[in-house]
Copies of this chain bind each other. A is one copy, B any other.
Amino acid sequence: MDKKKALEKIAQRLRIHSFKMTTKAGSGHPTTCSSMAELAACLFFDEMRYNIHDPFDWSNDEFVLSKGHAAPLLWAAYAEAGIISQKSLMNLRKITSTLEGHPTPRMKWVKAATGSLGQGLSVGVGLALAMKLGKCPRRVYVVLGDGECAEGAVWEAANQAALAGLDNLCAILDINRLGQSGVTMHEYDLDAYERKFKAFGWNAIQIDGHNIPQILSALKKAKQSKKPTAIVAKTIKGKGVSFLEDRNGWHGKPLNREDLQRALDELGPMPEIDAKKYVRKPNKLKKPQLKRGFRFAKNTYSKETATRRAYGNALVSLGKVNDSVVCIDGDVKNSTYADSFFAAYPKRSFDVFIAEQNMVGIGIGMAARGYLPFLATFAAFLCRAHDQIRMAGYSFSNMKLVGSHVGVSIGADGPSQMGLEDLALFRPIPGCAVLYPSDAYSTEGCVEAMTKYRGLAYLRTSRPATPILYKKGEAFPIGGSKVLKKSQKDKVAVVAAGITIHEALKAYEDLKKDNIPIRVIDAYSVQPLDLKIRTEIAKAGNKVVVVEDHFRSGGLGDALASLLAGEADILHLAVDELPRSGEPHELLEKYGISAEHIKQAVKQIIKKK
C-alpha cells in the first residue's frame, strides 16, 4: 500500500477511536481530536522514531501534546502503535485508567502533564536542549492548538528556541479556528501565525493539515532547516463529520449514542490496516553515562554568609560529583548566585532571560530526559510560573527550584521583590519538599537532601548574610528539624526558619536574662514538617510562638497549626500587610517578626491559661 493511503487510513482510525472513546466516557473533546488526526498519523506512523517497548529509550524522538485536551487521540495513537491495547481505549477517563482526560505521566509515554494550555512548547524546548547537551541526534515534536497561541508562555518558548538554535525542534500548529467559547484570535489568518513565528526567529511553513503529502513534505523541510520550525496547519475542527465540521458550540462535548452513529455512518467503516507495521524503530543510540552523585565536598565558612551565596557554592561542589545537574536562571544569576555554577560549568548552564514560565517548562523537559535541573530566580518571581510549577508537580518532575530574596528582610527594593507567598505556592503541591535554610551549612545540607530526593523540591534562600549556626557536613534531611536551644525548664517553644531563627536566638538570649527559658526549633523542612516538633513543643509546656518572614497565610505558621491540630497554644508572628521599602532591621521590626516581637509574644503566651 502506498504511504499516503496507509496514513490516511490510520488517521481515520485515530479519528474513529476518538469519537467512540469520548462517547463511551461521556465527556471529552472529540472535535479537537479530529482536527489533528492526519497530523498525528504522519508523526506517529512515519516521521518519528521510537521504541515501543521503552518510553525512556534515549534513541526515541520525543512528542509533547501541548493541546492536552486532545488526549483521546494520543491514546488512540499509542494503541494503534501497539503500546497499549485497543480495548483499553474504552477505559478513557475511568478512575482506574491511566488514560486520563488530559495527559499525565501516569501514562509512561507522557513526558509532561498538559491540559493547562500554552505550556508544551517550553517542555519541548527543554527536551530539545537536553538532546543538544547529550549530543543526541533526535528530534522533538510539539502539537499546539491555535487557541493556546494567545498564551505568552508560547512566545517565551519561541524566543528561547530560536536563540538556542534548536533545529531539532518542530512545532505543529493545529489551526482549527475555534476555541472553547468562540473563534480564536486569528481564526484562519495563517499568515498571522507565520509572521509571528518568523519574527521570533523561526522557520515557518503553511500547509493543509488534512493533506498527508503536504504534512510529510513540511516535516521533511523542517529537518533541513537550521532554525526551529513551525508547521502552520490549517485544519477543520470536527473534520469528517458534516454536522460538527467548523461548528461553534461543540468544544469539549462528546456525541450522544445517536449522534455517534450518525458520525460513524459518515466516517465509514474502521479502515483495515495494521498500523503497528508503520511504526519506525530508532537506530539504537548510546545514552551518555553521567555521574549522578549527591554527596558533595562541603565548603568551609567562617563568617556570616547569605544562604543564597551558599547555594551557589553548594551547586558548584555538587556539579563535580553529578554530571546530570544543569543550572537554569532568568537573568538574576548574580543575585541568586547561580552564576558560580555558570562560571564553573558553562555548558550545563542556561540563562533563559526574564521568562520564568518558560524557565520552568524547560526544567520539566530537561528532567524528563534524565537531567537534574536546578532553577533559580527571586522567590517573588516564581509566582510568575505558578501554573508551570503546578504542572511540574503533576508531572512528578525531578526538578529543583530555588527562590532567593525572600521576605521583608531583603530591605529597600520593596514588596514587588519580596518573596512573601512562595511557601503558600509550594506547600500545596503533593510530594513537593520545601526547605528553608538559615545559614551556609544548613544550605549545603538542604541542597544535598533535595538532590537525593526524587521529586519536586523547593529551596528558599535569603538575601542578607546570616551567622553560622551549624557544623560543616551536618545533615539536613527532608522532614527533619533542629533544636537549637533547650533546657528542662522551657516554658515556651519558638519555631522559626531562615532569617527568623536568628531573631529567635536573639530573643532567647534576652529572655534568659529575664529567667524565661525557651526552646528554639529550626523548622528548616517546612514541608514535610518534622513530626518530632510536636514532642519538642509538648516538652515546652505546649505553648509555641511561630515566627516567619512570609505573609500570614499558607506558610510555616499554617503548617505548624495544622500539624499540632489543637495540641498546643499557638501565637503566630508573620507579615500582615503590604510591606514598604526600608532597611531590613526596620522592616523586621515594623512587620512584627523581630527578636523584640518574639520576646513580647513569649511573655504574652506564658500568661495565657
Interface, chain A (partner B; CB < 8 A): 25-28, 68, 93-95, 97, 100-102, 104, 106, 113-118, 147-148, 150-156, 159, 163, 179-182, 184-185, 192, 195-196, 198-201, 329, 331-335, 339, 351, 353-355, 357-358, 380-381, 383-384, 386-387, 390-391, 393-394, 396, 411-417, 420-421, 424-425, 427-431, 527, 542, 550-555, 557-559, 561-562, 564-572, 576-578, 580-583, 586-587, 590
Chain B residues whose C-beta falls within 8 Å of the C-beta of A150 in the assembled complex: 156, 159, 331, 353-355
A414 close to B570 (CB less than 8 A): no
Q: List 6 A-B contacts (CB under 8 A).
A: A25-B412, A104-B414, A152-B358, A179-B353, A428-B552, A561-B566
B147 close to A151 (CB less than 8 A): no
A93 close to B565 (CB less than 8 A): no
Known contacts A195-B198, A428-B552; 12 additional CB pairs below 8 A are A25-B412, A68-B416, A95-B581, A152-B153, A181-B334, A184-B353, A198-B199, A420-B428, A430-B551, A552-B562, A553-B554, A564-B566
Chain B residues whose C-beta falls within 8 Å of the C-beta of A394 in the assembled complex: 415-416, 578
Contact partner, A179, options B185, B331, B425, B558, Cβ 8 Å: B331
Chain B residues whose C-beta falls within 8 Å of the C-beta of A551 in the assembled complex: 428-430
B413 close to A101 (CB less than 8 A): yes
B152 close to A151 (CB less than 8 A): yes
B582 close to A427 (CB less than 8 A): no
Chain B residues whose C-beta falls within 8 Å of the C-beta of A329 in the assembled complex: 181
Q: Bound complex: CA of A401 vs CA of B579, how far in Å? A: 23
Chain B residues whose C-beta falls within 8 Å of the C-beta of A25 in the assembled complex: 412
A81 to chain B, nearest CB (A): 22
Q: Bound complex: CA of A587 vs CA of B380, how far in Å? A: 33
B357 close to A152 (CB less than 8 A): yes
Q: Bound complex: CA of A159 vs CA of B154, how far in Å? A: 13
Q: A95-B587, A415-B113 are in contact. Are A581 and B100 (CB under 8 A)?
A: yes
A94 close to B581 (CB less than 8 A): yes
Chain B residues whose C-beta falls within 8 Å of the C-beta of A427 in the assembled complex: 424, 553-554
B554 close to A565 (CB less than 8 A): no
A448 to chain B, nearest CB (A): 25
A414 close to B100 (CB less than 8 A): yes
B200 close to A196 (CB less than 8 A): yes
Contact partner, A428, options B93, B106, B553, B586, Cβ 8 Å: B553
A421 close to B428 (CB less than 8 A): yes
A396 to chain B, nearest CB (A): 8
Q: Bound complex: CA of A30 vs CA of B27, how far in Å? A: 57
Q: Bound complex: CA of A106 vs CA of B28, how far in Å? A: 48
- Closest chain B residue, CB of each to CB of A571: B565
B115 close to A416 (CB less than 8 A): yes
A149 to chain B, nearest CB (A): 8
A93 close to B185 (CB less than 8 A): no
B416 close to A421 (CB less than 8 A): no
